[in-house]
Amino acid sequence: MNVNDCLEKGLLKRISPSMGHALKSLKVAAQKRLDSQKIRKAGLPDQAYTTLYSCMFHASRALLFKDGYKEKSHYAVYIYVNEKYSDKLPNRFLTEFNVMRLDRHEILYGLDAFHPDEENLGKLMTLAQEYIKAVGKLIA
């Protein structure tokens, strides 16, 4: 699947580009990262992970708003960022965003218990901070 497929299937929609929305989404991403840290310290790794995924999602979504797109699917956000920004963002960001998307789905909807590894969660906290910074540079 590519961006054109997402548009045809209604998973992405063209809108007017909005730097205001892009900046707001990036601000939400930064807050979600802070929230995830607090949740992690409270001993709730599953919730910390899903909140950290939300951080990555909102940072990614900022790029869509900047370019004039709105999402109707988490998968479509990944497809868009991977297709349009893979030459501007390190691959590790895109890979982890997709892995986190799948893990989040398992945490929320899966029947098998998935619990994020504490060490990995710490690494992802750092990665999310770096991703927000990288997206901020692309938006500026």
Average model confidence (pLDDT) across the chain = 93
Indicate the pTM of the whole model. Answer: 0.92
**Total structural domains within the chain:** 1
Q: With cut-offs at 50, 70 and 90, classify the pLDDT of residue 108.
A: confident
pLDDT computed for residue 103 by the predictor: 87
Is the predicted pLDDT of residue 116 greater than 90, yes or no?
no
Averaged pLDDT, 132-138: 97
Q: Read off the tokens for 92.
A: 């590790």
**CATH code of 77's domain:** 1.20.120.330
Give the pLDDT of residue 40. 93
The torsion defined by the Cα of 116, 93, 51 and 104, in degrees rounded to 10, comes to -50
Instruction: Provide the domain limits for residue 53.
Output: 3-139
Residue 101 confidence (pLDDT): 92
Q: Which pLDDT tens digit goes with each residue over 36-80?
A: 999 999 999 889 999 999 999 999 999 999 999 999 999 999 999
pLDDT in tens, 11-33: 999 999 999 999 999 999 999 99
Question: Quick one: pLDDT at residue 58?
Answer: 97
Three-state SS for the chain is CCHHHHHHCCCEEECCCCHHHHHHHHHHHHHHHHHHHHHHHCCCHHHHHHHHHHHHHHHHHHHHHHHCEEECCHHHHHHHHHHHHCCCCCHHHHHHHHHHHHHHHHHHHCCCCCCCCHHHHHHHHHHHHHHHHHHHHHHC
pLDDT at position 106 is 85
